Structure 1
Amino acid sequence: MEEMEKSRIGQFEVRTDLALEERESFEGDGGEVSGVSLKEWDRKQTGVKLTEVRILNEQGAKAMGKPMGTYLTLEADRLSKKDDEYHSEISDELGTQLKKLMDQMLKGQERETLSVLVVGLGNPSVTPDSLGPRVLNNLQVTRHLTGEYGEDFLKKRDLPAISGITPGVMAQTGMETAEILKGIIHQTRPQMLIVIDALAARSVRRLGTTIQLTDTGIHPGSGVGNHRHSLTKDSLGIPVLAIGVPTVVGAAAIVHDTVSALINALSQSESTKATGKWVGDMDSEEQYELIRELLEPEFGPLYVTPPDIDETVKQLSFTISEGIHRAVF
């Protein structure tokens, strides 16, 4: 998993990779975050909601717990459904947004043929973590055509030089992902990286229905507490555009989201009304602390994924690969 940065309330930490969810955590404090801008708009035809969170300075980065940069989120409830026509529409929207972000990241770079290395992070043997490798399985690569048909083959046909790699996870390779990519970048010299990874969300409703794009790169493995070498422009020397979809949510976050339902249920009975009032009178920090004390001794840092995650990842892998194709071809 990618970042799974921590949204802190008291001593309890709720993991989320989505800048949108991190930004939403401030809504109870008035909604404004110094150094962070927010823009939202809807695509009525497709039912897609787009949210752009831009972290403008170090103050905003500190408040959000994320690097400065642009975080664009596409939300569509129907993404979790099997609907090829609708997923094609999402691919169009994704391709449009990818193209805009790529143009910004490559501004000032001149090269006759666009050269992009696409990286599918994750473990293909673990379904919630297999999104990256599955996208690579659907990717149309072209870089090898120059070796087969000559250096000017792609240029004459106005095609990009697309290459791809699934570096696996450290338990399989014994190497950091950053170490592998540095060697590949040194040999193939792409203009930029597009990295696909599975994320963690705070809300169940965003599992498989949200796609996040960011120009800040990513930090592989930190989602499950394994802080790996980051994949960023600073560490790799070229721009890194990250595409992520949340496929897991922390069990404690689910419990916290159901506390209000629990309070209502307890309030319905005279025998439990006092308990419901006691929990309801707690502030958010106290509720989190109670949940932590109840869950952690029994389950530890448990993560949950939907029962249909295999089908969801399969569909999204095609949607994302097609979005990349429409952005670069």
Structure 2
Amino acid sequence: MRTDLAIEAFETAVEEQLIQDRPVDNGVQITEDKIDDFTLSKVVISKSAEQTLGKKEGHYWTLEVPQLRTQDEKWQKIISQSLEKVIRQFLPLSQVSAEAHVLVVGLGNWQITPDSLGPLVCENVFITNHLFQYEPHAVQEGFRKVSAIAPGVMGLTGMETSDIIHGIVEKVKPEAVIVIDALAARAVERIHATIQISSTGIQPGAGVGNKRKEISFESLGVPVISLGIPTVVDAVTITQDTLNYYLKTLGQKKRNQGKPSNSLLTSALPGSRKLTEDDQPSEEERKLYLGMMGELEEDEKRQLLEEVLAPLGHNLIVTPKDTDLFMEQAANVIAMAINSALHASLSNGQGTTVTH
């Protein structure tokens, strides 16, 4: 399963009956809050659930922001304000004080668009560490020391990114590290529509099967908060989702056949009816529509697709065609939220960024 999202790892474990869908005696606690217009899912993974979920012990918060895909500046501002609130809540959870020197690390390859989130965020982070060192009289109250680095990837530097960051931490001595990276998702609808923040650091490339040395408290000796947005999904997931949409569409059409509302013009418009699990056809109908594949469970169907696509080299990692616009917008949203969350003088305390 290619995903960096803890919420998806939990959902998959429930689907495969590896864990019960309830926050009792399974090593996982999951709760939901509302942050302004958005849903914030909070997943807490204990030591006992690490192996089952494939995620380290710690806190994983997921902010659902489907409006991030739009090109509406109003939504960019609203999302950044909500994300600021989430980061402000999360910093004390990771033992990061209000005065701590924070190093922002932008992971990824700036030459590859869907992997350029980290470097793009670093370009817009408000840097102050040098001012504290060389012009302390010019620093107003409400600012903290913030440094930033975009270390690139092993293919560009020939060095493990974790080793580069470790050297910087030893020399600069920040009290906390915030790592920004592009993630991989299991569900197409979460691409550029979800923001995850976690207390466990990150293992670069894990979601696309290219694991590098992890960046965490254990490797750096300081608290590490990771923040990312899924930008890619694999071809198996897209194929599986397409088959499911196909089945639900046929099921919905059959269920609504003959209804008077079906003759209305608006009902015939694409996307006018939302597909749900209730639209899933019966087992007999699935077999009729898809033959032998219609009899398979979701995990069996996925395994079959992997067996078909992987040997042919067709299990590609895919990103939306408008990813360049999405990446720039997402980077601006994250940078604004980080700036306001780290520097009290850039926020009014309610999650609203003040324009200077």
TM range (shorter): 0.7 to 0.9
Q: 1:185 aligns with which of 154, 160, 169?
A: 169
**TM-score normalised per structure 2:** 0.80
* Deviation (angstroms), 1:89: 1.4
- Structure 1, unmatched stretches of 5+, are 1-13
| Deviating more after overlay: 174-183 vs 129-138 | 174-183
CA contact (8 A) 1:263 1:279 kept: no
**TM-score normalised per structure 1:** 0.86
Aligned to 2:29: 37
Aligned to 2:313: 299
* Deviation (angstroms), 1:192: 0.2
What is the root-mean-square deviation of aligned Cα atoms in Å? 2.2
**Pairwise mapping of residues 45-56 of structure 1 onto structure 2 (< 5 A)?**
45-46=36-37, 48-56=38-46
Q: Report the 3-state secondary structure (helix = DSSP H, G, I; strand = E; otherwise coil) of the residue aligned with 1:290.
A: helix
Q: How far apart are the structure 1 equivalents of 2:114 and 2:287?
A: 40
CA contact (8 A) 1:251 1:303 kept: yes
Distance 1:104 1:41, change over 3 A: closer
Identity %: 38
Q: 2:336 aligns with which of 299, 322, 326?
A: 322
CA contact (8 A) 1:263 1:280 kept: no
Q: How far apart are the structure 2 equivalents of 1:146 and 1:42?
A: 37
Distance 1:309 1:170, change over 3 A: same
Q: 1:168 aligns with which of 148, 152, 166?
A: 152
Higher relative contact order (CA 8 A, sep 6+): 1
Aligned to 1:287: 301
Amino acid paired to 1:55: I
Amino acid paired to 1:26: A
| Deviating more after overlay: 94-103 vs 25-34 | 25-34
Q: 2:11 aligns with which of 24, 27, 46?
A: 24
Q: How far apart are the structure 2 equivalents of 1:291 and 1:125?
A: 31
1:249 aligns with 2:233: yes
Distance 1:277 1:321, change over 3 A: same
Greater share of strand residues, 1 or 2? 1
* Deviation (angstroms), 1:264: 6.5
Q: How far apart are the structure 2 equivalents of 1:307 and 1:219?
A: 26
1:106 aligns with 2:120: no
Q: Report the 3-state secondary structure (helix = DSSP H, G, I; strand = E; otherwise coil) of the residue aligned with 1:15.
A: coil
Q: How far apart are the structure 2 equivalents of 1:245 and 1:304?
A: 15
1:132 aligns with 2:118: yes
Distance 1:104 1:295, change over 3 A: same
Q: How far apart are the structure 2 equivalents of 1:238 and 1:273?
A: 54
Q: How far apart are the structure 1 equivalents of 2:167 and 2:197?
A: 25
Amino acid paired to 1:22: A
| Deviating more after overlay: 91-100 vs 22-31 | 22-31
Distance 1:299 1:52, change over 3 A: same
1:73 aligns with 2:81: no
Q: How far apart are the structure 2 equivalents of 1:275 and 1:93?
A: 44
Distance 1:88 1:275, change over 3 A: closer
Q: How far apart are the structure 1 equivalents of 2:315 and 2:290?
A: 26
Distance 1:285 1:318, change over 3 A: closer
Q: How many residues align?
A: 305
* Deviation (angstroms), 1:306: 0.3
Distance 1:262 1:236, change over 3 A: same
Distance 1:285 1:211, change over 3 A: closer
- Structure 2, unmatched stretches of 5+, are 255-285, 344-356
1:46-82 Cα shifts (integer Å, max 9, x gaps): 2x111001002x2211221100000000112111111
CA contact (8 A) 2:2 2:208 kept: no
Aligned to 2:183: 199
| Deviating more after overlay: 207-216 vs 138-147 | 138-147
Aligned to 1:62: 51
* Deviation (angstroms), 1:266: 9.0
